[in-house]
């Protein structure tokens, strides 16, 4: 801890590490591979096991398999809940009772023991029950039982009328009526060496809410009777002083440890939890338990201190937990809010308040922005397990905590919480002992009204006339000198900006020119490839069409030649039969004697029968020849049709080639038009910048050197002549196809 100017204290955020012991199931699954080695009370070493992503990366030469981390203090598996409380939370507990704000985060992967660390069990109570017990031990018998003073917004208090007090008591009774009787934690279990309060009275108000899917829900609201009804989400508002608070959040006044135990039981019953592969009861939301301690003297609230314990939902990988559907949405929101928390802590580590810190990107970081910015002390308890299967997630958590440990908090010596809070009435208007207080009213005044008051106070001071004149002259001289200096500085800045802008324009113009040329070349290559693709497609289509038309009536060449030879043989046989027939008829006519008339008749009958048979064979052969001739004619007709189809396909291919050439010319024209338009726009921008530069140069004593020939060079580089090689290629291809 170190001091900074202004009486403030500067300290780094305290980050503690707690290592969970192995369970019997984890030991049976061989999860103990010495992944986590505690060197001493502040140093721990992580060894990557085989099969983990970290080990695979280190084997490839990316990253390391051994990592060392340091913490404010490390608690091993044998550490008890009481020892953890004494060594971590005790100092913040003292600050809380003395009027300062405190915040504790419990961070880690799923199934690392965060909820056990915060709440614990009835036999082993965690941090939250011990803080409550220590608070009641500090208050002792000085409990304010009126319930008419209640926290309001973030740092103020509200005075309740009797009707509002009755409503508060009814709401408290309704909650306690729905909770079974439970044994309160005994003070003897929770060792506390805190000093008791003095003569003042104290009122302890608590709130219990959760952030689920980036929506805020009150855990102390009675549960709905029907599951179909959705819970009412609460808004996170700003009180006007940069402090965020949850609007309409229910605050319950507790006066005993039994009341606190019942509230915890009621709130945990309403908390969002579900079973995943890594944890049977995984917290699916960030739960926040906030206590506000009001120090009361008579009917005046002297101070209000706040203590918040945040049980963060476990960061997880969806492939490890096997989440899907609603669980996947929950995991996405959990990881998103934790990512925003990491971004805020990284920004605080790098540059405390000079850079933008994304507090408002998440409800979690927005609520605790004031604590991170110095209006309280914050600490973190990191929970990890030693399982080899979750080593990569554990390493990510350790890297996050290493960044958090380097955050420096600047805490003022007299924080705002130590001042008397503003007391408001039941209608929300500021009160101070029953009347409007001057300090409270000043906080509600606008900035213009406060400035008017300051001017009135300045007019009350009277000075001699000569001193006033001298003061006015000196102020006028200083004003003119300052104005002249600002004008010179403005001219120099404008000149530098103009030169830088011109240089940037020139570089961007050259880059655009190169990009246009590269685009033209790429489009040319694409057009050529497209043309070749269409050409191959047309050839393939023509071949397939011809083959489909010939498949049905296709006759092999060997069969066709064999049929022709059969026809020729039949023709020769017919001609021989005709020759024999004619010779038989001539021999019959050469024998006219009477003696041989009977023999002639018999011979003629036999000759007629043979001629008849030969004629019938001739007719059959002629019919066969005619059929074969018709088949030949049909095949020739088919060949003609195929030739015509091929001719049509060739003509279509030539038409498509011509269309493609036309489209290519159109594309070239469009490219030239686009380039011309871009050049016109750039010319206009350059002309406007030149005009502005000329105006600046007229005011400045140093005239900038203008670079001539810039637009001419740009036009020459952009408007390159068209390449007609593709057109020639198309014409050559068309001529080759025609031939």
Ordered alpha helix ranges (H), 29-71: 53-59
113 is in an annotated binding site: yes
Instruction: Say whether 114 counts as a known binding-site residue.
Output: yes
Alpha carbons within 13 angstroms on the beta-carbon side of residue 103 total: 21
Question: DSSP E strands: which ranges in 547-701?
Answer: none
Cβ pair 213, 227 in contact under 8 A = no
Q: How far apart are CA 267 and CA 234, in angstroms?
A: 16
Q: Which residue's structure tokens are 């929770």?
A: 190
What whole-number distance in Å separates Cα of residue 347 and Cα of residue 357?
6
Determine if residue 109 is labeled as part of a ligand binding site. Answer: yes
Q: Which residues contact 232 (CB under 8 A, 6 or more apart)?
A: 217, 218, 221
CA-CA distances (angstroms) from residue 412 to 7, 101, 407?
A: 7, 12, 16
Q: 212: closest CA among 361, 390, 332, 83?
A: 332
Strand 408-411 relative to strand 377-384, pairing: unpaired
How far apart CA 84 and CA 89 sit, in angstroms, is 8
The dihedral formed by the CA atoms of 24, 25, 30 and 36, expressed in degrees to the nearest 10: -70
Q: 326-339 in b/e burial notation, b at 16+ Cβ within 10 A?
A: ebeebbebbbebbe
In Å, how far are 68, 110, 418, 468, 521 from 44, measured between CA atoms?
6, 20, 38, 69, 59
H-helix or E-strand containing 38? strand 36-38
Question: What is the separation, in whole angstroms, between the first and last Cα of the chain?
Answer: 95
Rg (CA), the chain: 50
| Residue 241 CA: distances (Å) to CA of 215, 237, 440 | 23, 11, 13
CA distance 668 to 724: 10
Residue 108 annotated as lining a ligand binding site: yes
CB 261 within 8 A of CB 184: yes
Residue 119 contacts residue 396 (beta carbons within 8 Å)? no
Encode 77-89 in three state secondary structure: CCCCHHHHHHHHH
For 17, counting Cβ atoms within 10 Å of its Cβ (0-12 exposed, 13-18 middle, 19+ buried), the class is: buried
Cβ-count burial of 183 within 10 angstroms (0-12 exposed, 13-18 middle, 19+ buried)?
exposed
Cα–Cα distance, 710 to 650 (Å, whole number): 52
Known binder of ligand: residue 45?
no
Report the sign of the C-alpha dihedral through residues 345, 350, 351, 357, in that order. Answer: negative
Any idea which residue has 């021999």 for tokens? 587
User: What whole-number distance in Å separates Cα of residue 463 and Cα of residue 515?
Assistant: 72
Name the binding residues for ATP: 108-115
Name the binding residues: 108-115
């Amino acid at each position: 801890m170190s001091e900074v100017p202004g009486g403030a204290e500067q300290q780094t955020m305290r980050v503690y590490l707690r290592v969970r012991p192995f369970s019997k199931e984890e030991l049976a699954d061989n999860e103990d591979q010495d992944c986590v080695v505690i060197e001493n009370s502040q140093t721990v070493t992580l060894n990557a096991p085989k099969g983990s992503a970290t080990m695979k990366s280190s084997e490839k030469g990316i990253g390391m398999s051994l990592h060392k981390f340091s913490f404010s203090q490390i608690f091993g598996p044998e550490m008890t809940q009481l020892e953890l409380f004494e060594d971590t939370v005790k100092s913040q507990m003292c600050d809380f009772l003395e009027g300062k704000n405190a915040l504790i985060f419990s961070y880690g992967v799923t199934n690392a023991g965060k909820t056990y660390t915060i709440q614990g069990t009835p036999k082993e109570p965690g941090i939250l029950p011990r803080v409550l017990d220590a608070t009641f031990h500090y208050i002792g018998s000085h409990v304010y039982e009126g319930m008419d003073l209640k926290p309001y917004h973030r740092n103020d208090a509200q005075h309740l009328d009797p009707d509002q007090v009755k409503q508060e008591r009814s709401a408290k009774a309704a909650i306690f009526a729905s909770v079974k009787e439970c044994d309160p934690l005994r003070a003897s279990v929770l060792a506390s060496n805190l000093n008791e309060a003095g003569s003042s009275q104290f009122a302890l108000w608590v709130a219990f809410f959760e952030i689920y899917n980036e929506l805020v829900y009150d855990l102390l609201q009675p549960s709905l009777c029907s599951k179909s009804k959705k819970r009412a989400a609460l808004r996170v508002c700003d009180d006007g002083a940069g402090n965020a608070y949850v609007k309409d959040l229910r605050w319950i006044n507790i006066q005993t440890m039994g009341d606190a135990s019942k509230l915890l039981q009621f709130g945990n019953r309403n908390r969002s939890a579900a079973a995943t592969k890594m944890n049977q009861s995984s917290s699916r939301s960030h739960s926040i338990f906030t206590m506000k301690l009001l120090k009361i003297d008579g009917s005046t609230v002297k101070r209000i201190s706040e203590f918040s314990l945040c049980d963060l939902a476990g960061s997880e990988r969806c492939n490890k937990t096997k989440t899907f559907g609603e669980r996947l949405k929950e995991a996405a929101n959990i990881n998103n809010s934790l990512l925003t928390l990491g971004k805020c802590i990284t920004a605080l580590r790098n540059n405390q308040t000079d850079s933008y810190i994304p507090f408002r990107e998440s409800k979690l970081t927005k609520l605790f922005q004031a604590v991170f910015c110095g209006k309280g002390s914050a600490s973190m308890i990191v929970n990890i397990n030693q399982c080899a299967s979750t080593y990569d997630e554990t390493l990510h958590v350790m890297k996050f905590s290493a960044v958090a440990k380097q955050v420096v908090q600047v805490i003022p010596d007299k924080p705002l919480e130590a001042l008397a809070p503003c007391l408001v009435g039941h209608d929300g208007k500021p009160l101070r002992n029953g009347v409007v207080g001057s300090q409270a009213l000043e906080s509600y005044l606008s900035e213009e009204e406060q400035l008017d008051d300051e001017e009135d106070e300045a007019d009350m001071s009277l000075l001699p006339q000569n001193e006033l004149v001298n003061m006015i002259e000196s102020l006028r001289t200083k004003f003119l000198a300052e104005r002249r200096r600002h004008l010179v500085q403005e001219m120099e800045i404008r000149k530098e900006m103009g030169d830088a802008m011109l240089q940037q324009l020139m570089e961007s113009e050259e880059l655009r020119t190169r990009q246009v040329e590269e685009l033209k070349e790429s489009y040319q290559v694409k057009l050529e490839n497209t043309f070749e693709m269409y050409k191959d497609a047309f050839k393939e289509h023509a071949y397939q069409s011809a083959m489909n038309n010939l498949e049905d009536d296709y006759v092999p060449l060997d069969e066709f030649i064999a049929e022709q030879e059969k026809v020729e043989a039949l023709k020769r046989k017919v001609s021989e039969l005709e020759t024999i027939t004619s010779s038989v008829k001539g021999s019959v006519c050469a024998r006219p004697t009477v003696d041989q008339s009977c023999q002639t008749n018999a011979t003629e009958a036999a000759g007629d029968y043979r001629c008849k048979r030969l004629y019938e064979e001739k007719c059959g052969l002629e019919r066969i020849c005619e059929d074969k001739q018709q088949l030949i004619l049909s095949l020739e007709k088919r060949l003609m049709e195929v030739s015509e189809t091929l001719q049509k396909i060739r003509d279509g291919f030539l038409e498509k080639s011509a269309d493609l050439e036309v489209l290519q010319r159109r594309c070239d024209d469009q490219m030239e038009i686009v380039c011309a338009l871009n050049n016109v726009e750039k010319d206009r921008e350059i002309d406007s910048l030149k005009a502005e530069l000329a105006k600046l140069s007229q005011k400045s004593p140093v005239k900038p050197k203008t670079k001539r020939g810039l637009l001419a060079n740009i036009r020459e580089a952009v408007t390159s002549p068209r390449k007609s090689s593709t057109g020639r290629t198309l014409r050559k291809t068309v001529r080759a196809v025609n031939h």
